[in-house]
Structure 1
């Protein structure tokens, strides 16, 4: 019986662009979360960001969030309950008492600011290490690739779904 040759460790530059971009994004997200946790927001996880992005523009009902996230109302309610426990969201006033709306709390806005600051720090680090031109060219190429694959509009409309 012939044995399959053992595959060694891949060279990073031999990975296809999709995986390489995915791995960079995963690593940056993990490092940003570490900084956010250290800054006083323990318990936040990457999946919470998908709800938070939809609350940046103002209050939403659980039904609206479920529709935007393309999940069940129960799933949206569960995530909102987690965020409420962490102090990131709070009940929002509503003219219709039957509709429960939530919004970002002051703590939630502070968490967003902390996350954005951490990402800006990493961006500055990349610019120092790789050079401004290389970072801008990489951004241009990845944007063009995303556009060519039909994924840019989902990003523009904040309709990126959490990976399953």
Structure 2
């Protein structure tokens, strides 16, 4: 089997592979720190809950999935203790979804672990190279239509 030279890969492939590797590294750390059932898709739900407390229907629309798929994700996250449903203040028939203390804890832990990974990376590369890499990745996001979703915390779940 021939080895692949990573420097020979195109930028979109490198960005994708680096993102996947970083995700797996961070998930392993989260799991080792007591969140053994956390999955990548949970992060997409958490991002919607950081900014507010949507209904299942609103969550599904924001994630680009059906109400049934959103409901399934909420049930799973409830069972894991990351989210809770409560009555809307204006209309008790409406149920809103919000992060629990455990949900906020895993979000903070994820932020801390990403910051640690970034510091590890920055200790190995020239600051100018890191700044250039950041600009290239932002340009890739712009070229592929991803910037607006990031700005609005509306990155859709990956499609398979």
TM-score range, shorter chain: over 0.9
Structure 2 CA distance for aligned equivalents of residues 44 and 74 of structure 1: 20
Structure 1 CA distance for aligned equivalents of residues 80 and 128 of structure 2: 40
Task: Tell me, yes or no, if the aligned pair for 1:36 and 1:115 is still in contact at 8 Å.
Answer: yes
Structure 2 counterpart of 1:152: 147
Aligned length: 158
TM-score, normalised via structure 2 length: 0.93
Structure 2, unaligned runs of 5 or more: none
- The RMSD of aligned alpha carbons is 1.3
**Deviation for aligned residue 1:93:** 3.4
User: Which of 74, 80, 86 lines up with 1:80 in the alignment?
Assistant: 74
- Residues 6-155 of structure 1 aligned to structure 2 (within 5 Å): 8-94=2-88, 95-155=90-150
SS in 1 for 2:113: helix
Structure 1, unaligned runs of 5 or more: 1-6
Task: Tell me, yes or no, if the aligned pair for 1:63 and 1:73 is still in contact at 8 Å.
Answer: yes
Larger radius of gyration: 1
SS in 1 for 2:157: coil
